[in-house]
């Protein structure tokens, strides 16, 4: 079970209730009422839109496809969040993901609210023409609520720059004469997208790990050693050792994070396992990640699944079951596939002491609690995978100003932005008893609550 937004908000506000530096103007009964109002406001979305897209397939059959757009909260700016193309998409999942986008943008000081979209399909089962029509229909059905200053979608699971290009083109056709460049982000560079957007999430995921285990631990080693904190002990135990790493998911996020690890000169780590929807590949001496990236780019995104394909990729590896990646004896596990991958039935078999969430909600609430109680450092999705929305913000800015950043400048701005967040959050995490996820939630809820109060929204 994924932690509900109501639970996140309640626990965060409970931690803040006696903090006199938070909303100091509100005391006594007025403070209690304000906190009750905050729970109500932040645990529910502003709007939930649902349609059944009418699509004519190439065989001339007409189907209806469930599609959603959820707008959670826009106190910080226009709604922002990806459109997920997956057969498991359902309303409550999209609502939860939209609320997490609100919190993520608040945590990283990105001036957007939280939104999310979903189309309940397996995109692999449709032709290019059919996918193009599905994208156009989505924009047609939801165009009234979308726009550069209203709600700005982006790619998510199952979608990419291609789909965003199609959608922006349709939006431009529907809204002639109105600004359109910022209506969708994650577009191709030729179509107004930002350099580095595709790689941004994966680079941010690995940068989170690198900054915490290298920069922060080295700079704060003495301070960490003085802390009576179970997570500080875990971090120090892994300092200066050769770290083995496994990556679940080898798509846009997982493959980029794995390549960043392979090329990193700051930390002595090696990728011993990667997985996708078919297999886990394992090599205790380390995998040739560039060779695997090259192979997947030429084979529909899939990893080698047999000896012949491994030979074709020029990669040495043992082939294991796809879920074996979760329970391998490694130091670091990067979860870059889908949600709910570590749960009550397999959590006791997880051996990694550091887990980096590249996907959204890959660990259930019960499993998260079990791991945290055992000193496992979990760098949560809200902290780690914000690279996509941060660079989407840069793309949105570039579209408005029609001035474009170099790829080097994009990554510098991205890492500087994430570093600001880390320098706020990590001292709190290693200095108090809350897990890193809870620290992030508390900080985000505090930011949004303060803005709601300042704008008079708690009355």
Name 155's bridge partners.
Answer: 83
Whole-number Å distance between alpha carbons of 107 and 8: 14
Residue entry with tokens 């080898």: 250
CB atoms within 10 A of CB 253: 30
- C-alpha 323/C-alpha 307 separation (Å) is 19
Task: State how far the Cα of 449 lies from the Cα of 459, in Å rounded to an integer.
Answer: 13
| CA distance linking residue 167 with residue 160, whole number of Å | 11
Instruction: Give the distance, in angstroms, between the CA of residue 367 and the centroid of all CA atoms in the same chain.
Output: 19
Torsion angle (degrees, nearest 10) of CA 422, 428, 432, 436:
-30
Q: Is 116 a catalytic residue?
A: yes
Q: Is 244 helix (H, G, I), strand (E, B) or coil?
A: strand
Residue whose token pair is 């209690």: 32
Query: How many residues in the chain?
Result: 459
Largest Cα span, the chain: 71
Q: Give the start-end residues of each E strand in 30-107.
A: 47-56, 62-73, 79-85
Assess contact for 253 and 205: CB atoms under 8 A. Answer: yes
Question: Which residue matches tokens 């997985």?
Answer: 275
- What is the distance, to the nearest Å, from the Cα of residue 403 to the centroid of all Cα atoms in its chain? 27
**DSSP secondary structure code for residue 240 in this structure:** T
The torsion defined by the Cα of 450, 452, 457 and 458, in degrees rounded to 10, comes to -40
| Selection from 198, 173, 169 nearest residue 184 by Cα | 169
Q: Which of 116, 137, 187, 417 is catalytic?
A: 116
Q: Are 430 and 236 in contact (CB under 8 A)?
A: no
Residues annotated as catalytic (active site), given as ranges: 116
């Amino acid at each position: 079970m994924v932690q509900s937004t109501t639970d996140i908000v309640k626990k965060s506000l409970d931690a803040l209730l006696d903090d006199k530096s938070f909303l100091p103007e509100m005391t006594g009964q007025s403070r209690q009422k304000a906190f009750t109002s905050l729970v109500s406001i932040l645990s529910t979305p502003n709007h939930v839109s649902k349609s059944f897209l009418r699509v004519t397939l190439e065989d001339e059959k007409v189907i209806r496809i469930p599609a959603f757009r959820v707008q959670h909260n826009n106190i910080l700016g226009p709604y922002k969040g990806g459109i997920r193309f997956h057969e498991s998409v359902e309303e409550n999942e999209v609502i939860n993901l939209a609320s997490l986008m609100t919190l993520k943008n608040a945590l990283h000081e990105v001036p957007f609210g939280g939104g999310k979209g979903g189309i309940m399909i397996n995109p692999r089962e449709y032709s290019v023409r059919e996918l193009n029509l599905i994208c156009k229909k989505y924009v047609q059905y939801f165009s009234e609520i979308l726009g550069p200053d209203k709600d700005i979608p982006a790619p998510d699971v199952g979608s990419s720059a291609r789909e965003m290009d199609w959608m922006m083109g349709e939006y431009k056709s529907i809204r002639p004469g109105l600004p359109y460049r910022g209506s969708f982000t994650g577009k191709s560079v030729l179509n107004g997208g930002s350099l580095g957007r595709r790689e941004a999430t994966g680079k941010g995921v690995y940068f989170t790990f690198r900054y915490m285990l290298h920069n922060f631990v080295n700079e704060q080693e003495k301070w960490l050693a003085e802390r009576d904190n179970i997570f500080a002990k875990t971090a120090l135990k892994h300092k200066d050792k050769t770290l083995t790493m496994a990556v679940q998911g080898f798509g846009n996020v997982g493959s980029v994070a794995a390549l960043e690890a392979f090329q990193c000169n700051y930390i002595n780590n090696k990728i011993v396992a990667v997985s996708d929807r078919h297999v886990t590949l394992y090599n205790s001496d380390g995998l040739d990640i560039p060779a695997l990236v090259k192979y997947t780019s030429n084979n529909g995104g899939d990893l080698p699944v047999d000896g012949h394909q491994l030979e074709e990729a020029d990669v040495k590896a043992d082939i294991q079951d796809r879920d074996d990646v979760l329970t391998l004896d490694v130091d670091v596990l990067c979860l870059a596939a889908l949600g709910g991958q570590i749960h009550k039935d397999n959590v006791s078999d997880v051996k990694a002491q550091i887990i980096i969430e590249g996907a959204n909600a890959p660990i259930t609430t019960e499993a998260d609690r079990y791991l945290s109680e055992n000193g496992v450092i979990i760098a949560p999705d809200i902290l780690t995978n914000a690279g996509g929305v941060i660079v989407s913000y840069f793309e949105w800015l570039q579209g408005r100003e029609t001035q474009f950043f170099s790829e080097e400048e994009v990554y510098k701005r991205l890492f500087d932005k994430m570093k600001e967040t880390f320098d706020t959050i990590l001292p709190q995490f290693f200095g108090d008893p809350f897990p890193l996820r809870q620290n992030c939630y508390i900080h985000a809820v505090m930011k949004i609550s303060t803005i709601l109060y300042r704008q008079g929204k708690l009355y």
